[in-house]
Amino acid sequence: MKITLEELRAWVAVVDSGSITAAASQLTQTSSGISRALSRLESKLQTTLLHRTTRRLALTEEGQVFLEHARQILASVEQAEEQIALRREMPSGRLRVNAATPFMLHVIVPLVDDFRARYPLIQLELNTDDILIDLLEQQTDIAIRIGELRDSTLRARLLGSSAIRLMARPAYLAKAGTPQSVADLAQHQTIGFSYPDTLNVWPVWQSDGDFMRIKPTLSASSGETIRQLALAGQGIARLSDFVSREDCAAGRLVQVLTAETRELRLPVHAVYYRNTTLSSRIGCFLDFLRSEIDRRQLL
């Protein structure tokens, strides 16, 4: 049977205070409870630690040796508790964050400077993947997922949602013509995703009243690659607002079929493994990310 911290604390308190009654008062326990803790401790160690008389308590030789070890153990536990408390106040350690390339570049990277200034003891490791990853296999603390969640093993915090629109470079439209109706898209170069096909649903309605699903004439696996292709004048692309906002403001991209575009928003979640205790560094990153996304209207 293993010795407990409760028994060690009772033992040291009795020695330091000089009596079971005083130790009970110090630890806000009953005298009988302290006495039982000492008896259990001696039973587990199979030795006598204290000689008890009506007037005083005297350490045995074994008790003197064990007292030093008990003090060291309790000091180590207190130090560990203090370190954890400090980490809660000033989170530290490595934080691995995974996101699709566009979200990493257009949302997270612009926030890194402020985050590091606020939490200088956290070492960020930013990784990008344009496919869903296994958090445990990739040793990832937080992953950003865009779209509906299907993995029940994950816990999630909603960061917001992003509208998607059809965008093109003005030079492309000057050359190919600006589509005036959804039907006109059949005459244009369309840039879409090679995988998954669900990302090729565009926010305009077909004749049957459902969202249009395209077969792209030019495809890529990365949303950032699709953005660059649109900037290069290769056709019309479906882009999330957080990807295209700066390009629109600068006039590098313009929206097409504005009147025909329907509300189609993709939820953005930060996910982490369900069985993971929410550490202070994960918690502060999630709080910071959500706060800054709202404040800067990044989604």
pLDDT in tens, 73-84: 988 888 787 677
Instruction: List for the chain the helix, strand, coil content (%; round to 5).
Output: 45, 25, 30
Q: What is the DSSP string of 26-37?
A: HTT--HHHHHHH
Read off the DSSP letter of residue 139: T
Question: Residue type at 260?
Answer: E
Q: Which of 78-87, 111-120, 154-163, 166-175 has the lowest mean pLDDT?
A: 78-87
The Cα–Cα gap between 294 and 289 comes to: 9
Please check whether residues 143 and 291 belong to one and the same domain: yes
The angle subtended at Cα 219 by Cα 216 and Cα 220, nearest 5°, is 150
Q: What is the mean pLDDT of the segment spanning 117-139? A: 80
Q: Which residue has the tokens 């792209």?
A: 216
Please check whether residues 151 and 189 belong to one and the same domain: no
Please check whether residues 34 and 178 belong to one and the same domain: no
Please check whether residues 187 and 238 belong to one and the same domain: yes
Q: Which of 54, 145, 138 is nearest to 99 (CA)?
A: 145
Reply yes or no on whether the pLDDT at 26 is more than 90: no
Query: Beta-carbon neighbour count of residue 187 at 10 Å?
Result: 9
What is the residue range of 35's domain?
5-87
Please check whether residues 192 and 282 belong to one and the same domain: no
pLDDT of the residue at 78: 80
For residue 123, list its beta bridge partners: 94
Q: What is the DSSP string of 180-237?
A: -SGGGGGGS-EEEESS-GGGGEEEEE-TTSSEEE---SEEES-HHHHHHHHHTT--EE
pLDDT of the residue at 108: 97
CATH of the domain at 261: 3.40.190.10
The Cα–Cα gap between 99 and 144 comes to: 5
Give the pLDDT band (50/70/90) at residue 54. low
Please check whether residues 206 and 174 belong to one and the same domain: yes
Reply yes or no on whether the pLDDT at 275 is more than 60: no
CATH of the domain at 9: 1.10.10.10
Reply yes or no on whether the pLDDT at 286 is more than 90: yes
Torsion of CA 98, 103, 105, 107, to 10 degrees: -110
Please check whether residues 201 and 248 belong to one and the same domain: yes
Distances 62 to 36, 130, 207 between C-alpha atoms, Å? 19, 63, 90
Give the pLDDT band (50/70/90) at residue 138. low
Give yes or no for a contact between 200 and 230, defined as CB atoms under 8 angstroms apart. Answer: no
Token pair of 31 as six digits = 């005298």
- Mind listing the pLDDT tens digit for each residue in 89-126? 788 888 999 999 999 999 999 999 999 999 998 999 99
For residue 192, list its beta bridge partners: 219
pLDDT of the residue at 231: 98
User: Which of 52, 87, 122 is the endpoint of a domain?
Assistant: 87
User: Which of 37, 60, 87 is the endpoint of a domain?
Assistant: 87
Overall number of domains in the chain? 3
Q: What is the mean pLDDT of the segment spanning 180-187? A: 95
Please check whether residues 220 and 284 belong to one and the same domain: no
Torsion of CA 109, 111, 114, 118, to 10 degrees: -100
Q: What is the mean pLDDT of the segment spanning 260-273? A: 91
Please check whether residues 255 and 170 belong to one and the same domain: yes
The Cα–Cα gap between 110 and 130 comes to: 19
For residue 202, list its beta bridge partners: 212
Please check whether residues 51 and 97 belong to one and the same domain: no
Read off the DSSP letter of residue 261: B
298 vs 273, higher pLDDT: 298
Residues 6+ apart with CB under 8 A from 74: 5, 8, 9, 12
Give the pLDDT band (50/70/90) at residue 234. very high
107 exposed, middle or buried (CB, 10 Å; 0-12, 13-18, 19+)? buried
Please check whether residues 255 and 272 belong to one and the same domain: no
User: Which of 87, 119, 150 is the endpoint of a domain?
Assistant: 87
Reply yes or no on whether the pLDDT at 277 is more than 70: no
Please check whether residues 184 and 214 belong to one and the same domain: yes
Give yes or no for a contact between 220 and 143, defined as CB atoms under 8 angstroms apart. Answer: no
Q: What is the mean pLDDT of the segment spanning 226-248? A: 97
Mean pLDDT (the chain, rounded) = 89
For the entire predicted model, the pTM comes to 0.70
pLDDT of the residue at 133: 56
Q: What is the mean pLDDT of the segment spanning 173-195? A: 96
